[in-house]
Structure 1
Amino acid sequence: MLKIYDMVFLSPIGTIGISIINDKVHELKFINNLKESKSKDSFHKDLSRQLDLYFKKKLNVFDVPYDLRGTQYQINVLKKVAKIKYGSTQSYSDIAIKADSHARPVGNACRNNPIQLLIPCHRVVGKNNIGGFSGENVKKNGNMMFIKKSLLEIEG
């Protein structure tokens, strides 16, 4: 299925596709390379500015509204993940305890995170390894794992 993005941002570690509805980020995901879009309005320009500052290690908290969606469970988990501070990590088990759940469903909620970076699921790691990111894991070790490692290095 073809996905149309309102905005495309070329980061140093991959292309980010962004969907915006009613001046709120609806989706923000790393995607296959596309050409960067030119900012349309003040919201787009501000988001581009914040992303640029983040990748230059000059911003550690995003200040843009977003539309968090999913099941009630997913939203609960993602709200807990959103509280993980820049430069730190928590395990799937740590989040599971806070969500009165288990590690595997927490991982599934993170895998389905529609707003990568703004909801920092890359900061959720396994007890003994880096964990997964966007459906990939350490065994698969593809492009999404490269992105997770790179994001953690940026914040390190």
Structure 2
Amino acid sequence: MSTILSLTYESPLGTLKLTSNKDALLGLSFISEIREKQESNPVLEMTIQQLDAYFKGTLQKFSVPMELHGTAFQKTVWEALCTIPYGTVVSYQDIAIAIGNPKAVRAVGMANNKNPISIIIPCHRVIGKQGSLTGYAGGLDKKQWLLCHERENQDNNLQE
């Protein structure tokens, strides 16, 4: 069994908990307090470097290895989320259509809600069909901040 390590990262939006095994990032989520021992490894260090660059506005696409645990449907949705270009938004219906299941709008929303790697798997780029901001595990204020941050930095000469 692979050892799982966790580390916290202070972002402009608050504290994030990062978890990984030796090969891949397993989770990234917003937390309110630190309760665990802090340990790092190369995957977590790479994640921190990429988050630093993202929050500075100099990184648009993450390349940290990820290991996703979920249903086949959830993984399909999460992979589709990773194709949404930086600084743009799509609807839940757009994702349902993109995965070849146009009637699965609610299921896409539920899979979005279960996204284990916030920010890197950009579920914040998914909005309601009429353009409204809807659900985000970190809160709608954080979703709005991330969308504004990406729009403001979209035209920078950024790393891919």
* TM-score normalised by structure 2 residue count: 0.82
How far residue 44 of structure 1 moved from its aligned partner, in angstroms, is 2.5
How far residue 41 of structure 1 moved from its aligned partner, in angstroms, is 3.8
User: Structure 2, unaligned stretches of length 5 or more?
Assistant: 152-160
Which residue is equivalent to 2:124? 122
- 1:122–1:152: 8 Å Cα contact kept in structure 2? yes
Shift >6 Å, 4+ stretches:
none
Question: Percent identical across equivalent pairs?
Answer: 37
Higher relative contact order (CA 8 A, sep 6+): 2
Which residue is equivalent to 2:108? 106
How far residue 39 of structure 1 moved from its aligned partner, in angstroms, is 7.0
User: Structure 1, unaligned stretches of length 5 or more?
Assistant: 135-142
Aligned residue pairs: how many? 145
Alpha-carbon distance in structure 1 between the residues aligned to 2:46 and 2:30: 19
Which residue is equivalent to 2:149? 154
The range that moved more, 81-90 or 93-102, is: 93-102
* TM-score normalised by structure 1 residue count: 0.84
- 1:29–1:116: 8 Å Cα contact kept in structure 2? yes
**Paired residues for 1:63-74 under 5 Å:** 63-74=63-74
How far residue 57 of structure 1 moved from its aligned partner, in angstroms, is 0.7
Alpha-carbon distance in structure 1 between the residues aligned to 2:33 and 2:61: 25
How far residue 38 of structure 1 moved from its aligned partner, in angstroms, is 7.0
The range that moved more, 10-19 or 99-108, is: 99-108
Q: Are the structure 2 counterparts of residues 40 and 19 from structure 1 closer, same or farther at C-alpha, using a change threshold of 3 Å?
A: closer
Alpha-carbon distance in structure 2 between the residues aligned to 1:21 and 1:5: 6
Report SS of the residue matched to 1:6: strand
